[in-house]
Structure 1
Amino acid sequence: MGLIFRLLVGLVVALSVGFGASYYALTDGRLFAAVRVGSWAAWPDVGQPIPNPYSRAYLARTGHLQLGYAEGLQFRAYTDDSGDPLDARCQYLVAGKVPGASFWTLVATDPDGANIAASPELPALHSERVARWGDGGLNATIGTEMGPGNWLEIEGTGPFTLALTLYDAVVFSGANTTIEAMPAIEKVSCQ
């Protein structure tokens, strides 16, 4: 009787781990082969002609259109630098150097990917229309209340994501596979 019980427990554990890993790979398989710098994560393998099997399964399931490897790279942040999830009721300061790119955009989206910018005239911050620090770094306030430097006004409540998309990026082109710096995300206040 003990042998059958141990066999059934082993079978249940094996099936749970197998199906759990498969579910995870199909719902967010991009997390395999992620490149992380602070709060930011990018998946350079997603834009390749033949991505890894987990990224391929994720793309097939979601149908998201991805940038090609030579076109650009998107970094996403779900948390601030202290590890707390980004919350639309809070103010954040995004400051620091952005990796080299011909053009970049910074967008705030809800968990479903919809833009949560309050103004249709300013749905994102982009490299051609931002004031920079003396060293060329970004200084932006993200939130419902105006702050110093650039301001991306957002609306709503609950979790959100910041997406920093680098177009024609120097990062991961050719032999350059290091990221020197990414902007820090600091929570300033919450309502």
Structure 2
Amino acid sequence: MRFVLLLLSTILVALATGFGLSYYALNDGRLVGAVQIGAWTSWPDLGAASPNPYSRGHLAREAALQLGRSEGLRFTATTDSAGEPLDLRCTYVLEGHVPVSTFWTLVALDPAGRNLAAPETDLALRSSEIARDNSGAMVVSVGTALRPGNWLELAGRGPFGLALTLYDTTAFSGFGADNDTMPTITRGACA
């Protein structure tokens, strides 16, 4: 009887561990196939001809059209650089360099994937519209309260995420020295 109970408990632990890790890999998966740079996360394998099974499962669950590896790379952030969740009650400042790319866009999305751009504004901030300092670094304010300089104006309430899509990039390809830098996300004033 003791052997049967031990066998059943072992099977139960194995099933719970297997299903738990599979659920994690399909929903978050930062430990499987994802690359984390500061607050930014990317899945570079998603654009490959044959991604690993966990990246393929994440792609199927997300149900989004992904760029091919030669077309570009998408980074997402749902927290600031201090690890606090992004909230529309607060203003954020993105500061620093973006990996080498021909073009990039920055959008804010709610948890359901809807764009949060304020009405009567552009849906995305584009690299061609950004003023930079002499070193090429940028400073972009993000939030619902208007600020001077580079600005992504948002509307709504609650949590949100940022998506930075790099087109024709050398990030993670081994070329260039600045491929592992991403802008920091710093929380400003909150309403």
Q: Normalised by the size of structure 1, how large is the TM-score?
A: 0.91
2:101 corresponds to: 101
- Asked if 1:188 is matched to 2:188, the reply is yes
Task: Give the Cα separation in 1 of the matches to 2:119 and 2:31.
Answer: 32
Cα drift, residue 121 of structure 1? 3.0
Secondary structure, in 3 states, of the residue corresponding to 1:22? helix
Task: Give the Cα separation in 1 of the matches to 2:61 and 2:127.
Answer: 32
- Asked if 1:117 is matched to 2:125, the reply is no
1:132 corresponds to: 132
Cα drift, residue 7 of structure 1? 2.5
2:86 corresponds to: 86
Gaps of 5+ in 1: none
- Asked if 1:157 is matched to 2:157, the reply is yes
2:8 corresponds to: 8
Secondary structure, in 3 states, of the residue corresponding to 1:166? strand
Task: Give the Cα separation in 2 of the matches to 1:190 and 1:11.
Answer: 49
Task: Give the Cα separation in 1 of the matches to 2:24 and 2:180.
Answer: 31
Task: Give the Cα separation in 2 of the matches to 1:176 and 1:135.
Answer: 16
On the 8 A contact 1:30/1:55 being kept in 2, the answer is no
2:56 corresponds to: 56
CA deviation digits over 1:114-158, x for unaligned, max 9?
A: 111113431111111122223221111111101232111112222
Q: Normalised by the size of structure 2, how large is the TM-score?
A: 0.91
1:144 corresponds to: 144
On the 8 A contact 1:171/1:177 being kept in 2, the answer is no
Quick one: structure 1 residues 152 and 173, their matched pair in 2 at CA, closer, same or farther if it must change by over 3 Å?
same
2:22 corresponds to: 22
Cα drift, residue 170 of structure 1? 2.0
Gaps of 5+ in 2: none
Identity %: 52
Counting matched residue pairs gives 191
Cα drift, residue 176 of structure 1? 5.0
